[in-house]
Structure 1
């Protein structure tokens, strides 16, 4: 017998406590809007954990342990071609396309938060941070899967590429919006 623990609710409680603490402790140091944006960033990180890692098995389950690694870049395109040849445009094909699109979407908010919350970040730094965030997610999936703490998940180089792309595009769009609004202090775009 084992317990499968979802950390979503405890994470939200911790974010709420932090938010209240930040309001009381740093009342005059930062604006209330910035505090709300940062708290929403923390909630976003909790949601990312929930979507990519999910429930933790206590104790670890040997039957769930395993390491699935895909290191061929742009393999999702080969996958699409094979699915299309086998059965045309059916549910499985569109599900694969949808999951690929979700990998781009996953770090779009991350890129936007980088531009809004950290005002001196450059485009290159945003790309590196998006890549590191994606690498952290993929590495956690690999390690937790191998130990049986979560169901088997795949370490996929395509996820790294697509997640990083999503973060970089969002950073660019956020930089353009900040510039259009005339908030030059909101973002530094050296190297952009």
Structure 2
């Protein structure tokens, strides 16, 4: 007997939950004595959406069998508005430059959000968190693939992708540090010009 495994995308439901959370947070902010700054709020909400999207991209959605007694698999994907990332991930050749570039770019926002949200002073600590996070995501893919909840299993290329994911996170940290130093030197130069006047 042939069973159908449906691939469920987590992004639409998680995005709706995020919208409800945003609404409640903004509503409660009306009654709070101390208001959150708009900049911190935008960074927090965008980072949550990024993490939701990252989980979807790296895991590819969750599969649930329609007939659990059957071990043969045939997948159909739910039609959703966020499926472009899944298509990109599946259609990129595993050894192409675009796949490597994609895996670097995928984790650049992770390094950026890490420094912006947690205000880490130590770059070593930030790099350590990036490495641990990438390993945890790879381990989750391995366990979920082995258990049958995702359609991708862990392979040799995933180790290379893991290294490029770490590289992307480190690149995000470098970009934030460069931007902070540039802004600081710009303000310092402006202050010196104002003092001369």
Q: 1:120-139 residue pairs with structure 2 within 5 A?
A: 120-139=120-139
Q: Determine if contact 1:114/1:121 at 8 Å carries over to the other structure.
A: no
* Corresponding residue to 2:44 among 3, 15, 38: 38
1:181 to 1:137, Cα distance in 2 relative to 1, 3 A:
same
Q: 1:52-91 residue pairs with structure 2 within 5 A?
A: 52-59=58-65, 62-63=71-72
CA-atom RMSD, angstroms? 2.4
Q: Deviation digits for residues 3-57 of structure 1, max 9, x if unmatched? A: 3321111110111122222223355342012111110001101111121112211
Q: Which residue number in structure 2 is paired with residue 165 of structure 1?
A: 167
- Structure 2 unaligned regions, length at least 5: 74-91, 186-197
Structure 2 distance, partners of 1:44, 1:127, is: 19
Q: Which residue number in structure 2 is paired with residue 101 of structure 1?
A: 101
Q: Determine if contact 1:22/1:35 at 8 Å carries over to the other structure.
A: no
Structure 1 distance, partners of 2:182, 2:61, is: 42
Q: Which residue number in structure 1 is paired with residue 21 of structure 2?
A: 18
Alignment partner of 1:118 is 2:118: yes
> Could you say what secondary structure the match of 2:63 adopts?
strand
Residue 138 of structure 1, CA deviation: 0.9
| TM-score where L is the length of structure 2 | 0.70
Structure 2 distance, partners of 1:53, 1:164, is: 17
Residue 92 of structure 1, CA deviation: 5.6
- Structure 1 unaligned regions, length at least 5: 65-90, 184-192
* Corresponding residue to 1:180 among 168, 179, 182: 182
Structure 2 distance, partners of 1:25, 1:100, is: 43
The count of residues paired between Structure 1 and Structure 2 equals 156
1:55 to 1:97, Cα distance in 2 relative to 1, 3 A:
same
Residue 147 of structure 1, CA deviation: 1.2
1:23 to 1:169, Cα distance in 2 relative to 1, 3 A:
same
Alignment partner of 1:6 is 2:9: yes
> Could you say what secondary structure the match of 1:153 adopts?
coil
